[in-house]
A and B are shown apart, each in its own frame.
Chain A
């Protein structure tokens, strides 16, 4: 019977996964087409003068950000799951807060704070008795080190989020065994918890690295010329779309290679729990100075990644409000930001479930391949993806208009582009990997034996999903939804290019100000982005607290 099922013809789930894959492939195909139209002549220039430096810069940046994000994410996750101390419950969710701060905002904020004429160095000079910044200055933050530190401190929550969930629900039994064998707490982390959490660390780290790789805001602002910035320059300054598409696709191939490599290295291991409810790890109580030290340790990333830049934004926003008042559009922009991000989140998570579930149903290689393809949108810089989406969306628009005119005698104009549907499409393609990554790790913790049991009782695939999987992976779904929402809200390049006329989000407003160097005008919009981003973070924190977390 199971063998017969495996050979069954493609069903609704596989077809759905196929459609999602197609939707993601379409803009990539458009890019490939654009790339094929270019000449190869400029590659000599790129190879001689651009790519070596850009690749080196990118490699250093990714190594640095990866190490920092994994170090911060895993240690803080271990801290709040393996230990109990005063303030742990607050840290539990507060460690997520930097997610709400877009990279471009943190870069602006820290340059202002740390600039020689900014508050910190001015105070420092007063303290040390120097009159002029010419006599005493701290190193400039506009550097590779500055970029790594700032990106690391806003991107570590991706690792924290996935790893904490793993620590909470997976390791308890094994760790209890290890403990009875006399393994100390620290060794437990290195030898049991961390190796077990590897899929979660890999998912979190790859999300953080993709963000770092595709970042233009902070990197460009801090003077770090990554591959993404080079692609952007090639396209914009030299009007060479074909060249930019070629580099972007080459980069995509490398990323896909790395992802495949990581998966292959992980393939031989299984990480799923037994069907039995796993026991959560019993946290070790820290009292007095030890407890205070633990809290301080966990508070550092929250302070650097969230509290300091937010306090700065609040200050700047108040100055701005006194100076120029509140723009009447900002409420509209905030509402638009929330509405579109919410819609995109719902669509992305639903489609993400379809894609991942189709692969789990295990009906041949095809749904699995679709799942991998669906995640590709995240590996392409947002600007480039937007350019790839443009011909796809307008192509559909032209076809719809022509058909409507012929059949009904009514012109629809540019329906998708004009209605904002193109924007939804862009968000879904761009952030599908964020959703499917979380959903996949949710599914992976549900033992296949549960599926088999349900199947023998005659439940269909849809019933199993509704009655077993979805309830068991509510926390994973919530996590995926949070990440997608926050990403949509911060998204800039695709929003700029594909939005309808007269439509602004907080991010585009902020960018419009920032681009002419009037960051201070943008302080209110920046603060609103952070505040709106806080809402889902807090919701997620509540979900986490119900301890419905463990499947």
Chain B
């Protein structure tokens, strides 16, 4: 059977075994476990390997990252655990799957509220949960609270309430307004839906273009992916059919989520792992976050992509990510309760 493996593959398989055999000190490799899509991570890996000569082996695990690393235990080859959502990151920390890192480079680059006190997690990029609206619609400002306004009955598109992006938004609402108001808000939102709460964020733009809805909630970076043409000519049309408003909470700011990473508890290549994290907050890497992924760089002063800058000045809501994460499970239950996804 082995002869059937293409060479790259057999090398990868052997690597997986060899990595465990290798002593950490001699390592010129790094194992990355990520819930972030491979396409978004690869540019960083390529640049890092080019700069340092450290080879990065990666595996994309969407769900069950925590379960897998926990089951692998002390023999886990994982060095870096990278997630696309703050809740997932905190979960890894809470389950004791990470280890603290003291690095002045990281501490200087990342604002204090976007990393763990003990250095057990680090945010690397930010994105905002924004409003897509029909380009001809006469609105210029919007609050998340307004999503439940009966004015929008049958006019709102949104992906599944149980998707981490939306659970985080509802958790933020819950942390701010309490359970009763959040439930009423969700019921209002449910009544306003133009179609089932499903699909992806870009479907919101496409459905607005298709006349199914007038407004919808989606992530900021998709605007860049669509309008830049990175997603192909069709998506450019979707991007052109909408206007984008940075909504706020009443008396607050815009809800953001982060992508981030931690060093794994039993990382066999700890030094390389720290080096990788430090690379990810370097000017070069932060530029990739802004230009290839259309995200907001986490590093103060790093430039955002012009398409994203054109959306307006982002005023980040002050509620801490840790506080929002604490309300995630309750938010998910409320979403069930009002049957948002039914």
Contacts of B153 in A (CB 8 A): none
For the complex, what is the distance from the CA of A316 to the CA of B123, rounded to whole Å? 36
* A114–chain B nearest beta-carbon distance, Å: 10
Cα of A331 to Cα of B5 in the assembled complex, Å: 12
Contact stretch, chosen from A19-27, A254-262, A393-401? A393-401
Measured CA separation A116–B337 after assembly (Å): 31
Contacts of B326 in A (CB 8 A): none
Question: Shortest beta-carbon distance, B272 to chain A, in Å?
Answer: 14
Which residues from B are CB-within-8-Å of A176? Answer: none
Choice from A142, A223, A414 contacting B72 with Cβ under 8 Å: A414
Cβ contact within 8 Å between B77 and A50: no
The winner among B12, B57, B91, B339 for most chain A CB atoms within 10 A is B12
In angstroms, Cα B17 to Cα A401, docked, is 11
Inside 8 A of B200's CB, which chain A residues have their CB? 516-517
Instruction: Find the B residue at minimum CB distance from A395.
Output: B71
CA distance A313 to B140 in the complex (A): 39
Residues of A within 8 A of B328 (CB): 237-238
- Chain B contributes a number of interface residues (CB within 8 A of A) equal to 75
Residue B301 lies at the interface, judged by CB distance under 8 Å to chain A: no
**Distance between Cα atoms of A387 and B65 in the complex (Å):** 10
Whether a CB of chain B sits under 8 angstroms from the CB of A283 is: no
Shortest CB-to-CB span from B259 to chain A, Å, is 12
The reply to whether A339 and B1 form a contact with Cβ atoms under 8 Å apart is: yes
Q: Are A503 and B59 in contact (CB under 8 A)?
A: yes
Pair B17/A412 contact, Cβ less than 8 Å: yes
B300 to chain A, nearest CB (A): 27
> Who on chain B is nearest to A57 by CB?
B342
A264-272, A296-304, A416-424, A453-461: which lies at the B interface?
A: A416-424
The residue on A at minimum CB distance from B331 is A237
Q: Kindly state the separation between the CA atoms of A133 and B198 in the bound complex, as whole angstroms.
A: 20
Do B332 and A390 touch across chains, with their CB atoms under 8 A apart? Answer: no
Interface flag for B182 (CB, 8 Å): no
Select from chain A the residue with minimum beta-carbon distance to B74: A398
Q: Which of A45, A133, A235, A418 contacts B63 (CB 8 A)?
A: A235
A236 to B164, CA, bound (A): 9
Query: Is the Cβ of B17 less than 8 Å from the Cβ of A515?
Result: no
Q: Counting CB contacts under 8 A, is A462 at the interface?
A: no
Known: A142-B196, A332-B6, A497-B63. A413 touches B20 (CB 8 A): yes
Chain A residues touching B, range: 35 or more
Candidates B5, B58, B341; contact of A501 at CB < 8 Å? B58
Using a CB-CB cutoff of 8 Å, which residues 468-521 of chain A contact chain B? 493, 496-497, 499-504, 508-509, 511-513, 515-518, 520-521
Please determine whether B211 and A221 come into contact, CB atoms closer than 8 angstroms: no
Partner of B59, one of A397, A499, A511: A499
Would you call A383 an interface residue if the criterion is a C-beta within 8 Å of the partner chain's C-beta atoms?
yes
Given the complex, which residues of A lie within 8 Å of B339, measured CB to CB?
49, 53
Which residue of the partner chain, among A143, A398, A496, contacts B60 with CB atoms under 8 Å? Answer: A496
A12 contacts which chain B residues (CB < 8 A)? none
Decide: A117 and B16 in contact? CB cutoff 8 A.
Answer: no
Contacts of A142 in B (CB 8 A): 195-196, 198-199
Q: Could you tell me which residues of chain B, from 210 to 265, have a CB within 8 Å of some CB in chain A?
A: 210-212, 222, 225, 231-235, 237-238
Which among B1, B33, B341 is the interface contact of A225 at CB below 8 angstroms? Answer: B341
Whether a CB of chain B sits under 8 angstroms from the CB of A220 is: yes
Is A195 engaged at the interface, CB distance under 8 Å to the other chain?
Answer: no
In the complex where A413-B75, A496-B61 touch, is A53 in contact with B342 (Cβ < 8 A)? yes
The residues of B that contact A53 with a CB separation of less than 8 Å are: 339, 342
Are A115 and B206 CB-contacts (below 8 A) given A223-B198, A335-B6, A516-B37? yes
Give Cα distance in the complex from A116 to B1, angstroms: 48
Given contacts A515-B62, A516-B39, contact A413 B77 (CB under 8 A): yes
Which residues of A have CB within 8 Å of B16? 413-414, 417-419, 500-502
Give chain A residues whose Cβ lies under 8 Å from the Cβ of B237. 117
Cβ < 8 Å to A, chain B residues 183-213: 195-203, 206-207, 209-212
CA–CA, A512 and B40, complex, Å: 10
Q: Is A134 touching B67 in the complex (CB atoms < 8 A)?
A: no
A144 to chain B, nearest CB (A): 9
Tell me the complex Cα distance, A317–B247, Å: 37
- Residue among B58, B211, B235 making CB contact with A137, cutoff 8 Å: B211
- Asked if residues B4 and A221 are in contact (CB atoms below 8 Å), the reply is no
Contact B17 A520 (CB under 8 A): no
A386 close to chain B: CB less than 8 A: yes
Given that A45-B336, A413-B21 are known contacts, is A220 also in contact with B160, CB under 8 Å in the complex? Answer: yes
Q: Could you tell me if B232 and A503 are in contact, using CB atoms closer than 8 angstroms?
A: no
Is A508 within 8 A of B232, CB to CB? Answer: no
Q: Chain A nearest CB: distance from B248 CB in Å?
A: 25
Residue of B nearest to A515 (CB): B37
How many Å from the CB of A153 to the closest CB on chain B? 20
Fill in one digit per residue for A43-62: 1 if any B CB lies within 8 Å of its CB, else 0.
Answer: 00100111001000100000
- Contact B164 A501, beta carbon cutoff 8 Å: no
Contact B12 A501 (CB under 8 A): yes
Question: Is A417's CB under 8 angstroms from B342's CB?
Answer: no
CB proximity of B94 to chain A, nearest CB, Å: 9
Within B48-72, the residues touching A (CB, 8 Å) are 57-64, 66-68, 71-72
Q: Cβ of B288 < 8 Å from any Cβ of A?
A: no
Please tell me if the beta carbons of A517 and B67 are within 8 angstroms of each other in the complex: no
Contact, CB under 8 Å: A502 / B57: yes
Q: State whether A414 touches B59 (Cβ < 8 A).
A: no
Cβ-defined contact, B202 with A517, below 8 A? yes
**In contact, B232 and A319 (Cβ under 8 angstroms):** yes
Give residues 1-55 of A contacting B (CB, 8 Å).
45, 48-50, 53
Q: How far is the CB of B125 from chain A (nearest CB, A)?
A: 14
Q: Does A343 contact B (CB under 8 A)?
A: yes
Asked whether, in the complex, the Cβ of B15 is within 8 Å of the Cβ of A497, the reply is: no
Q: Report Cα–Cα, A233/B63, bound state, in Å.
A: 11
Which residues of the partner chain B approach A500 to less than 8 Å between Cβ atoms? 12-13, 16, 59
Asked whether B329 is an interface residue with its Cβ less than 8 Å from the other chain, the reply is yes
Question: How far, in whole Å, are A496 and B35 apart by their CA atoms in the complex?
Answer: 11
B162 within 8 A of A: yes
How many Å lie between the Cα of A342 and that of B5 in the bound state?
12
A520 in contact with B77 (CB, 8 Å) = no
The listed residue with most A CB atoms (<10 A of its CB), out of B66, B75, B206, B225, is B75
Q: Which residue of B lies closest to A390 (CB)?
A: B71
B72 near A417: Cβ-Cβ < 8 Å: yes
Asked if A116 and B211 make an inter-chain contact with CB atoms under 8 angstroms apart, the answer reads: yes
Task: Point out the residues of chain B lying under 8 angstroms from A504, CB to CB.
Answer: 38
Chain A residues contacting B234 (CB-CB under 8 Å) are: 520
A497 touches B64 (CB 8 A): yes
Q: Which of B77, B329, B337 contacts A239 (CB 8 A)?
A: B329
> B39 contacts A116, CB within 8 Å?
no
Question: Is B178 among interface residues, defined by CB-CB distance under 8 A?
Answer: no
Using CB atoms and an 8 Å cutoff, list the residues of chain A in contact with chain B: 45, 48-50, 53, 57, 111, 115-117, 132-135, 137, 140, 142-143, 220-223, 225, 232-233, 235-241, 319-320, 323, 331-332, 335-336, 339, 342-343, 383, 386-387, 390-391, 393-394, 397-398, 401, 410-415, 417-420, 493, 496-497, 499-504, 508-509, 511-513, 515-518, 520-521
Other than A140-B212, A220-B198, give 13 A-B pairs with Cβ distance below 8 A.
A223-B196, A237-B164, A237-B329, A335-B4, A335-B6, A386-B64, A390-B64, A417-B16, A499-B59, A501-B19, A503-B12, A512-B38, A520-B235
8 closest cross-chain pairs (CB), A and B: A413-B20, A223-B196, A116-B210, A517-B200, A223-B198, A502-B12, A133-B211, A418-B16
Instruction: Name 8 interchain pairs, CB-CB below 8 A, sorted by A.
Output: A142-B198, A220-B160, A239-B66, A332-B8, A394-B71, A413-B21, A418-B17, A502-B12
